[in-house]
Chains A and B, each alone.
Chain A
Amino acid sequence: MLSVSNATVHYEAADGRLIHALQDVSLGIDDGELVVGLGASGCGKSTLLNAIAGFVKLTSGSITVDGAPVTAPGADRGVVFQRDTLLPWASTLDNVAFGLRLRRIGKRERRERAMELLRLVGLDAFHAAPPWQLSGGMRQRVGLARALATDPKILLMDEPLGALDSLTRESMQELIVKLWARTHKRVLFITHSIEEALILGTRIIVFSPRPGRIVQRFDVGFVHDVLAGRDASEMKADPSFVALRQEIRALIHAGAGA
């Protein structure tokens, strides 16, 4: 269980103003949950992810993973970034195996495990290519495989599909849902796309900016329809999908206007 209680992050901006990036946020993520953090930019959703990852220190409050408090980044929390963070001098395979190498796992074993993960994301044919020869969508899949390689307790995804075109994005959403169902990892997925949140999440937490806080939580089940192979465009036209999308949109707009 990942547990966030009363997490607050204040920091001083360059001009000296105090920014309330995150205010009293509490959240639990259980095994098998795919929680989506949703909100306009600057609402604190990425700050929450960065705090859980250990990149940002809390001003007050606490974060624990299976009871152990988070104080610094660590391999128990895998991160997939929006920006490409692959190492350009290493092959695709070595990038996926990077976390295993840091743990001093033998070359043969880490290559085997990395190859298995590359097969899982459909890129085993590109294992020898350097990352700069891959497309943006492929690079994000490598990033996903790399984050899974160290078998983290939770996967943190910070708008990983934000820079992709819509077709690539849809196939990536499908891949993420399938990987989640297969590995049963806890996932925190950050996005500003309401549709993406509805398609992926078992739970959606909606953020409101200044100060960044959670204004509403929704338990949703469309992700099970995706897993059952339901057509995405048909699902997006479903009256319950449309109604929920409208409700969340109104909520976000109200928060942004306040």
Chain B
Amino acid sequence: MNLVTVQTHDALVPASTPPAARRRGRRQVRLRLFSVAVSFAMLVSWGLVSGLGLVSPLFLPSPWRVAHQAVVLAQNGYAGATLWGHAGASQARVTIAFAIASALAVPIGLAMGANRWVKAGLDPVIEFYWPLPPLAYLPLVIIWFGIGETAKITLLTLAMFAPVCLAAQSGVRSVAIERVHAAQSLGATRWQVFAHVLLPSALPEILTGMRIAMGVGWGTLVAAELVAATKGIGFMIMSAANFLATDIVFVGIAVIAVLAIASSLVLRVAERLLVPWRGRG
């Protein structure tokens, strides 16, 4: 076969040159150090303010008292359940609600982004409910679903649904029309355009929406465990507050923070594995 030979003037785009990369790396290290230093300074001022007795421990327990309380809770538990039992119950609720919310919101959001009739039909409902604070509709959820696990998971699911749904919609709508045209002129059917172009194009935004939803879920946890819970970090915080056990409240807050950061990290890793092309077209 007589192949056409091509003279080319373009080459691979060079990866960032080593010196620039090193400079960027050093700046990253300095920024990280600054973050750690500021956090440490805040911890020290907390210790000083509480340690010197400037504020009553009822309002602000000292860091070592909170740390000690954490150890005690880890060993003895709280209100009939271990600290791990409380954390596990909360983690399970958030995880189940996240799974349900994602399973519903991704297809609905994609359909809303791809079809204006679906969007016109569902937009009013979603636009109406999503800015509402979950505490506002908590009483309704309890009246409808009772005081068991169903109500708690329903509340979390409702709160986590909107960010994923909106992200999936916007992911579909931000696909360049030329990319759709290109697939169509290669013979793609409507379904193939959806499966091979719209869905993967929307994936980076969907994953971002999921990360936001995870944050919203943890943010709604205390509200979800407000009524008739016997287990869960949110329950532990509210119950301890009734007894003015401020140090236990602090431990609860710290546990939620750690779990929320861990969930976010897991999703970030998933993003890196699923959409390595992110931000590159």
Contact = CB atoms under 8 A, between A and B. Distances in A.
B179 A171 contact: no
- Prevailing SS type, chain B contact patch: loop
Contacts of A138: 8, 10
Contacts of A53: 181, 185
A229 B118 CA distance: 58
A6 to B, nearest CB: 24
A132 B280 contact: yes
Interface in A171-186: 171, 174-175, 178-179, 182
B277 interface: yes
B178 A81 contact: yes
A134 B10 CA distance: 9
Given A77-B185, A79-B182, A131 B281 contact: yes
A189 interface: no
A88 B4 contact: no
Contact of A83 (B178, B183, B188, B197): B178
B200 interface: yes
B181 A179 contact: no
A84 interface: yes
Contact of B181 (A79, A133, A168): A79
A171 B7 CA distance: 6
A174 B185 contact: no
**Which of the four size classes fits the interface of chain A?**
35 or more
Contacts of B189: 102
B187 interface: yes
Interface string B1-12: 011111111111
Interface stretch (A34-42, A115-123, A214-222): A115-123
A87 B189 CA distance: 17
Contacts of B192: 102
Contacts of A134: 12-13
Contacts of A122: 4-6, 8
A159 to B, nearest CB: 12
A54 interface: yes
Most buried by A among B3, B11, B192: B3
A45 interface: no
A88 B281 contact: yes
Nearest to A158: B178
A60 interface: no
Interface in B8-31: 8-13
A74 interface: yes
Contact of A150 (B178, B179, B187, B197): B187
A63 interface: no
Given A73-B184, A102-B187, A150-B187, A85 B13 contact: no
A136 B10 contact: yes
Contact of A146 (B8, B186, B188, B277): B186
Nearest to B200: A89
A258 interface: no
Nearest to A132: B280
A103 interface: yes
Interface string A50-77: 0001110000000000000000111101
B280 A88 contact: yes
A79 B4 CA distance: 21
A135 B189 CA distance: 30
B275 interface: yes
A32 interface: no
Contacts of B275: 89
A146 B183 CA distance: 10
Contacts of A156: 185
Given A134-B13, A168-B10, A85 B187 contact: no
Given A53-B181, A55-B181, A132-B280, A171 B187 contact: no
Contacts of A119: 3
A44 interface: no
Contacts of B67: none
A75 B185 contact: yes
A137 interface: yes
Given A88-B280, A102-B196, A81 B6 contact: no
Q: Across chains A and B, which 7 residue pairs bring their CB atoms closest together, nearest first?
A: A75-B187, A99-B186, A73-B184, A88-B277, A122-B6, A132-B280, A137-B10
Given A77-B185, A87-B179, 12 more contacts: A73-B181, A79-B181, A86-B281, A99-B187, A122-B8, A135-B11, A147-B185, A150-B186, A171-B6, A174-B6, A178-B4, A182-B4
9 contacts: A54-B184, A55-B184, A85-B179, A103-B187, A137-B10, A138-B8, A141-B6, A175-B6, A178-B6
Interface of A: 53-55, 72-75, 77-79, 81, 83-89, 98-99, 101-103, 119-122, 130-138, 141, 143, 146-147, 150, 156, 167-168, 171, 174-175, 178-179, 182
Interface of B: 2-13, 176, 178-179, 181-189, 192, 196-197, 200, 275-277, 280-281
